[in-house]
Amino acid sequence: MSHTADLVDELYRSRRATIGIVGLGYVGMPLALAAWTAGFRILGYDSDSAKVEAINEGRSYIKHIASSEVAAAVRDKRLRATSKFAELSETNAVIICVPTPLTAHREPDLSYVADTARAMAPHLRKGQLIVLESTTWPGTTVEVVKPILEQSGLKSGADFFLAFSPEREDPGNPNFSTKSIPKIVGGDDPVALRLASSMYGAIVADVIPVSSTQVAEAVKLTENIFRAVNIALVNELKMVYGAMGIDVWEVIEAAKSKPFGYMPFYPGPGLGGHCIPIDPFYLTWKAREFDISTRFIELAGEINTSMPRYVVDKVAQALNTHFGRGLRGAKILIVGVAYKKNVEDIRESPAFKLMELIEAAGATTEFYDPHVDEIPRTRGHPELAGRRSIKWDEQVLRAYDLALIATDHDGVDYAALVQNAKLIVDTRNACARAGATNSNIIKA
């Protein structure tokens, strides 16, 4: 098989390979364009026919990706999308970029990964490289994906090659792109590692090979657990310092002047996105197999998941203090429903939990978000689907009892919000950072 591996390796080094990408979302689509820019032919697969149609027509459905870039790749005849899995048999490599959410009981949901492997198995061919990028628990690639693919009769390391390379996308971050972020790569065997490193080495600036797929899987979890734990710490400090009358954001700004031994993290209304609220629970679940309790990680999860209730309590206290009323019957404006600033990505957004809790207390909510025109259907909050952002109007702002800043988009006129809103609960310190100060602002 070494001769075959040499031939495949040369296809990657010379950029003559065709790369298949399964899942054309916030991870798969930037990767497809980065691979196209590097000179590869790309065949993208997605079960969403609307995405397939958009790509083949040269349109982008992700705001931070320009349609002009998609159109250029399509015109170049090196980017095409399909909803037919069988077509992936034409590719030299298949990269899997599908979701790995949690179940309602906070256990790993690998259904998208397993279903993809099952769909791929009948079309697997000798010499193909299969890479999983979806974040998951250490062992998934060899314990879940590998046995399913080997049901084809082909064997990993002999007939096809299997690797794991964790995605490290940060949607909307102007400082880092797919190409500039170092790529971790682990293989099921040395040849798989070599081939995956060659392929990614032709696409990104730096490849970091590790000894196994399990190590590569653990790297991604470690990165996001680090963030989750530190965010939980500053969320707890926010509550403690708040009770003391100390502004946690001022504390953090001063603390980060220390040039060593400190890294700033910032509190918020809860965790959002496709990684940090989810990934730590993949490790806590797997750790049970080894009779290990991940107390530190689970405590961080408890603190972070409690933040929406803490914020809603602050909203209720603010209404009572300033107007002598509770939440029931109040009209609340949520400012920002994306999970982070300056993107349209709403996955796991804490804003939805805030809306749920506020409405359960008898208030009504509407939202304004310059990046989200309409809330799509989500697994966690299907009842919010179809709600549309209000039009920004200073007179309309005066109609709400309270504005709750959940996401600190730069495109919001905070000075106008402070001037016109009766009361503001700011979970992101957005008003102060914009230089808008007033006695009607409560930090939470």
| Cα→Cα distances 248→224, 228, 236, 238, 264, Å | 23, 18, 10, 5, 11
Distance CA 7, CA 3 (A): 6
Q: What tokens were used for 353?
A: 């939990």
Residue with tokens 């909803």: 83
Active site residue 275: yes
Burial class (CB in 10 A: 0-12, 13-18, 19+), 227: middle
Catalytic, out of 31, 88, 192, 275:
275
Euclidean distance between CA atoms 157 and 141, whole angstroms: 13
Measured CA to CA, the distance from residue 337 to residue 111 in angstroms comes to 27
DSSP reduced 3-state for 317: helix
Q: Which two tokens stand for residue 163?
A: 């690797």
Sign, CA torsion 324/327/329/334: positive
* Beta partners for residue 88, in sequence order: none
**Complete DSSP assignment for 127-174:** T-EEEE-S---TTHIIIIIHHHHHTTS--BTTTBEEEE------TT-T
Residues whose CB is less than 8 angstroms from the CB of residue 288 and which lie 6 or more positions away in sequence, other chains included: none
For residues 98 and 118, the answer to whether their CB atoms sit within 8 Å is: no
Phi and psi torsions of 21, nearest 5°:
-130, 120
Q: Are β-strands 41-45 and 129-132 bridged in parallel, bridged antiparallel, or unpaired?
A: unpaired
Asked if 425 and 404 touch (Cβ cutoff 8 Å), the reply is yes
Catalytic center residues: 275
